[in-house]
Amino acid sequence: MKIAVIADTHLGTKWGTAREQDSFEQTREAIEQALELGAELILVLGDIFDMRTPRQEVWAQAMRILSIPLAKGRNEITLSRVIDKNQDDFSPVALRGTPVIALHGNHERRTRGFVNPVEALEAAGLLIHLHHNTLIFKTSSGTLAIHGMSNVPEQHAKNVLATWNPKPVEGAFNIMMLHQSVGQYVYSSEEFPTIDLADLPSGFDLYLCGHIHYHTEATAHGKPLLFPGSTERTQLLQVEAEVPKGYYMLDLDDRLSYEFIELKSVRDFYYEEMKFESVGILQLSEAVRAKVWELLGRPRRNFEKLPLIRLRLTGTLSKEASRSEFDERSIIQEFTDRALVAISKGDLTSPGLEEKVQLLRKLRERRLPIDEMAMGLLEANLREVSYDQPFDVRILYNLLVEDRGGEALQKVFDVVEEQVKIELERKSDDNPS
């Protein structure tokens, strides 16, 4: 028996841009192909939609795609039991075709009392939604138990999972589905997961997790933990350029085997970081242009769609240059017929004017007295040279303003003396004689 596992389709993402159909095309490819390959069940690991309240145009396309498994007609598997969910919670229509079982993700989560879009799809009979419950099926390969916990806020995830405390169904092949960051597998570095690999409930035969947008595999309690990753390129990070997009096909005959299937409709994506050192604006523009041309010459997989190119510029501009003079828009414009180019210059710093002008503007907006502004500038300058403050800059500044240079100098001497003392003490601690 075959089961398709799809995650993070993010339908409707990049709406209003040249990429607005990508999420739909990739989801359609995954579902149609999975059915052709003989999937009798489709598991969706959350973030079907990109937004909690999708626009009608997104709904219409989503429903059209999610009705494909239903239109396929009944197959051999039958639902035999439900744990912690009422049979009335979902429409019997959902079992008239290839069943789709889905979690809601963080993009769909809504406050208690509000219907999230995955629950709305369940109401239409297009899928069965799991959140702290289990469905048990009779299949050609035996009994199959699908357990699912939809997304909960990361800081509560460990407690919520422990409170649910799911147990594998005896005599069944048990699959656990989640949509959280787990251990080192995080969506972004700003996320602090509370669930570790060891916190996943034990005794299950297979763990499936959405939320992580790159495809990867791990093990939990000695069993496979699969992250299909998103079907659409959502983050445009290096990892999205390196790891292919796709879905899993599980085969439960005899024993579990699985295969990651790459999608063909995904846009080619090239990510490059360019590091500069005191570069002038003209030189920078030429280098960026040349890089785009170079990337356009790289091997392609998908000629149907314009490739995505993301350049991240880092390093420093020359002294007289300012970041705002670099006109990335005109470069993006130049290539509109060949590629969807994105250029981020936020990490390109100009030692010259720009930062200081902005800082001054910010200080002026805060209506600070002139000497406070000067202090702000002095502190910013010291930060720039990575000064790690053995001196209290404010005290020195005030002394200098009051023409008490001698005292200021004495303070500097005191600090130096103190530093030397600490250094000597540390040396003698390191080398006890």
Across-strand partners of 382?
Answer: none
Rounded Cα distance between 341 and 268, Å, is 12
- Single out the segment in contact with Mn ion by CB under 5 A; choices: 46-54, 133-141, 289-297, 413-421: 46-54
Cβ(236)–Cβ(71) below 8 Å: no
CB of 222 to Mn ion, least distance (A): 27
Cβ atoms of 130 and 104 closer than 8 Å = no
Q: Which is nearer to Mn ion, 187 or 271 (CB)?
A: 187
Identify which of residues 11 and 309 has a Cβ nearer to Mn ion in the complex.
11
Residue 129 to residue 103: CA distance in whole angstroms = 6
| Range in contact with Mn ion (rule: CB under 5 A) among 40-48, 123-131, 252-260, 315-323 | 40-48
Q: How many CA atoms lie within 13 A of 184 on its CB side?
A: 5
Residue type, 185: Y
Sheet containing strand 308-317, strands side by side? 269-279, 308-317, 340-349
The residue within the footprint of Mn ion, chosen from 3, 8, 9, 340 (CB under 5 A), is 8
**C-alpha span between 258 and 243 (Å, rounded):** 18
Residue of 40, 47, 122, 154 that binds Mn ion (CB under 5 A): 47
Stretch of 5-13, 14-22, 36-44, 89-97 lying at the interface with Mn ion (CB under 5 A): 5-13
Q: Which is nearer to Mn ion, 75 or 151 (CB)?
A: 151
Nearer to Mn ion, 61 or 234 (CB): 234
The least distance separating Mn ion from the CB of residue 47, rounded to whole angstroms, comes to 4
Q: Give one word for 351, left, alpha or beta, with left for phi > 0 and alpha for psi -120 to 50.
A: alpha
For residue 219, list its beta bridge partners. 224
Which of 6-14, 21-29, 157-165, 329-337 is the region at the interface with Mn ion (rule: CB under 5 A)?
Answer: 6-14
Query: CB-wise, 72 or 211, nearer to Mn ion?
Result: 211
Element (H, E) at 429: helix 405-430
**Using rule CB under 5 A, residue 108 touches Mn ion:** no
Residue among 47 and 154 whose Cβ is closer to Mn ion: 47
**CA gyration radius for the chain?**
29
**Least distance to Mn ion, CB of residue 215, Å:** 13
What is the smallest separation between the CB atom of 49 and Mn ion, expressed in angstroms?
Answer: 10
Binding site for Mn ion (CB under 5 A): 8, 47
